[in-house]
Amino acid sequence: MRDNNGKRRFRSQDWFDNPERIDMTALYLERFMNYGITPEELRSGKPIIGIAQSGSDISPCNRIHLELAKRVRDGIRDAGGIPMEFPLHPIFENCRRPTAALDRNLAYLGLVEILHGYPIDAVVLTTGCDKTTPSQLMAAATVDLPAIVLSGGPMLDGWFEAELVGSGAAIWKARRRLAAGEIDNEKFIQIATASAPSAGHCNTMGTASTMNAIAEALGMSLTGCSAIPAPYRERGQMAYETGRRIVEMAREDLRPSSILTREAFLDAIVVNAAIGGSSNAQPHIMAMARHAGVELTSEDWMKYGYDVPLLLNMQPAGKYLGERFHRAGGVPAVMWELEQAGLLRAQRPTVTGRTMAGNLEGRASADREMIRPFADPLKERAGFLVLKGNLFDFAIMKTSVISEAFRARYLSTPGSENRFECRVVVFDGSDDYHHRINDPSLGIDERTMLVIRGAGPLGWPGSAEVVNMQPPDELIRKGIAALPTLGDGRQSGTSDSPSILNASPESAAGGNLALLRTGDIVRVDLNAGRCDVQVPDDELEARRREAPPQVPASQTPWQEIYRATVGQLHTGACLELALPYRGVGHDMP
């Protein structure tokens, strides 16, 4: 919108500078003055820039943003905008019970309401911990006001006894050593704490670093933003530049709808494979795409992602941690490789005002141990393998974390490569797993597949990170570190388990996982992308009549509301009722 002098008129002026409703303008103006803002500032025609503050004492991964926001404000002021910081619903992955997955959609809803209902012209999204990135990008897509991502950055690398210890990854490894009797409880805690040496989010390529990398790959942050460790001085400088740039974006009216295109999401799928990204990227990318009105299918993951090689040598798929990733050039260096190989659609707009191809110019890495050349990758075909069968319509397997030992035991049988059969042991939720996993009467051996159900969006509720089930202690002591696992829940992005997960429909939604029984035989064929129980259809139908799945009661009002409208993981576990709303930042409340 332009005023009579041809100058851009911002939506905030409908609150603060509306001659037709001077009574309301007076009311809107007066209370902002109580912290020292003058009416002249608010009526100056400058854009009002929201800073969506995700940091707090109960969001420790994002707490650095309380500091960074000062530099964002400096940048906004220097570029001629007016900053207004406001809090988001907190999301802390590790601590929130029953799961932080419930909070992604709640924080999404909250941010949509704030951006729609308050005098904000553009917004800085402060991201970090896993779901803080997709929740805010989903909201930005819904509202479609100019938006830019500022990552908080990973923690510094963790060290313990002269070895790198990475977030989550160190804990999964130490848990196995504890089970094998190699370390005691005290040492377990020491390892865990050593992996968190500073402010910032997980320093592995878990879900946090993955989703921040994806935000950058989509074109929603300044170039090189996502990998800068939280305590580095470049992080504060990036905060300042981000503040400056969002003011220009407000003036240009550069909105998410011109950046979050199908091309951008296909590139995100490619980048996710090349960095060995988290299995949680699948539901989060689907959710962001759907809120942006972009159609992505299960086939897109195979067609565009599966053949992409692993280029980044970062835990859990590789060796190193976030500091080295940043020094090696971060996301632009990985994308540079992919672009040279012709795998990207880089002639697309980004928040920088240049195309992605423009952003990537001159970004080749000098550290070939950390970021491998496309022609000499760490692994071929490192994308998610999409599976289906008579137990579910959709599930994924993160192939970049298949270990040599796992491959040798299950996937290398001559004449039957990438195919195996297992007897299953079925657990109903994670309490059941923890109570019974060491029960010798279950007869778990190296040809057993562990199955968990009741862990999807409806069943848990929220969907739980539980599919990376550890074998019984007895097997670990014999050197079996991982069994095949399958479930309708998720797993931590820092896990190195090649589970079959995110199975949809989940058991609580009528999926056939509910019909599986301990002792059944499941056949997995990775070549054909199939996973089937060797039980005839009529027998499965008889079981369906016998025992409908039990779903635990909701504990809070939000759990009930969430369950009433949430979809399945393969389509992003979105609030289905929210999807028709797009561009609501432009409908004046």
Binder of residue 208, out of Mg ion, ligand FES, none (CB less than 5 to 8 A by kind): ligand FES
Closer CB to ligand FES, 94 or 258, in the complex: 94
Picking from 202, 201, 157, 214, the residue whose alpha carbon sits closest to that of residue 335 is 214
| 492 binding partner (options ligand FES, Mg ion, none; Cβ < 5 to 8 Å by kind) | Mg ion
Q: How far is the CB of 490 from ligand FES (least distance, A)?
A: 14
Minimum CB–partner distance for residue 154 and ligand FES (Å)? 8
Q: Stretches 202-210, 281-289, 291-299, 508-516: which one binds Mg ion (CB under 5 A)?
A: 202-210
Residue nearer to ligand FES on the CB measure, 107 or 514: 107
DSSP string, 145-190: --EEEEE--BPPPEEETTEEE-TTHHHHHHHHHHHTTSS-HHHHHH
Phi, psi of 48 (to 5 degrees): -95, 120
Given the complex with ligand FES, which of 352 and 492 has the nearer CB atom? 492
Residue 93 within binding range of Mg ion, rule CB under 5 A? yes
Residue 291: name the closest of 147, 137, 146 by CA.
Answer: 137
Paired with 50 in beta bridges are 84, 123
Q: Which of Mg ion, ligand FES, none does residue 61 bind to, with CB < 5 to 8 Å depending on kind?
A: ligand FES
Dist. CA 424–CA 484, nearest whole Å: 10
Which DSSP state fits 8? B
CA distance from start to end of the chain: 16
Nearer to ligand FES, 121 or 130 (CB): 130
Which of ligand FES, Mg ion, none does residue 202 bind to, with CB < 5 to 8 Å depending on kind?
ligand FES
Between residues 166 and 318, which has the closer beta carbon with respect to ligand FES?
A: 166
CA distance 428 to 142: 36
Phi-psi region of 100 (alpha: psi -120 to 50; beta: other; left: phi over 0): alpha
| Binding partner of residue 247 among ligand FES, Mg ion, none, CB cut-off 5 to 8 Å per kind | none
User: Which residue, 492 or 504, has its beta carbon nearer to Mg ion?
Assistant: 492
Answer for which of 151, 492, 495, 507 binds Mg ion (CB under 5 A) is: 492
Given ligand FES, Mg ion, none, residue 198, with its beta carbon under 5 to 8 Å by kind, binds none
Nearer to ligand FES, 208 or 296 (CB): 208
- Are the C-beta atoms of residues 191 and 160 closer than 8 Å to each other? yes
Name the segment binding Mg ion (CB under 5 A); options: 84-92, 302-310, 336-344, 484-492: 484-492
Amino acid identity, position 93 = E
Nearer to Mg ion, 287 or 426 (CB): 287
Whether the CB-CB separation of 270 and 331 falls below 8 Å is answered with no
Say whether residue 488 binds Mg ion (CB under 5 A): no
Q: Which is nearer to ligand FES, 128 or 236 (CB)?
A: 128
Give least dist CB 233 to ligand FES, A: 21
SS3 state at 314: strand
- The nearer residue to ligand FES, 494 or 568, going by C-beta atoms, is 494
Minimum CB separation of residue 484 from ligand FES in Å reads 26
Binding characters for Mg ion, 302-341, by CB under 5 A (x = yes): ----------------------------------------
Alpha helices (H) in 62-100, listed in sequence order: 65-78
Minimum distance, C-beta of residue 280 to Mg ion, in the bound complex (Å) = 6
Whether the bond between 256 and the residue before it is cis, its omega within 30 degrees of 0, is no
Task: Name the minimum Å distance from CB 561 to ligand FES.
Answer: 25
DSSP codes, 546-564: H-PPP-PPPSSHHHHHHHH
Torsion angles phi and psi, residue 519, rounded to 5: 105, -20
Q: Which residues of this chain interact with ligand FES, rule CB under 6 A?
A: 61, 93-94, 129-130, 167, 201-202, 206, 208
Minimum CB–partner distance for residue 167 and ligand FES (Å):
6
Smallest distance from ligand FES to CB 255, Å:
28
Ranges of beta strands (E only) in 153-279 are: 158-160, 163-165
User: Residue 208 CB, nearest distance to Mg ion (Å)?
Assistant: 8
> Residue 284: in which H helix or E strand, if any?
helix 281-291
> How far is the CA of 523 from the CAs of 151, 316, 511, 528, in angstroms?
42, 27, 18, 11
Partner whose binding site includes residue 450, from Mg ion, ligand FES, none (CB under 5 to 8 Å by kind): none
Q: Residue 82 CB, nearest distance to ligand FES (Å)?
A: 31
Among 155, 234, 229, smallest CA distance to 193 is for 155
CA distances from 518 to 204, 264, 441, 468, 497 (A): 35, 43, 12, 18, 21
Interface contacts to Mg ion, rule CB under 5 A: 93, 130, 207, 492
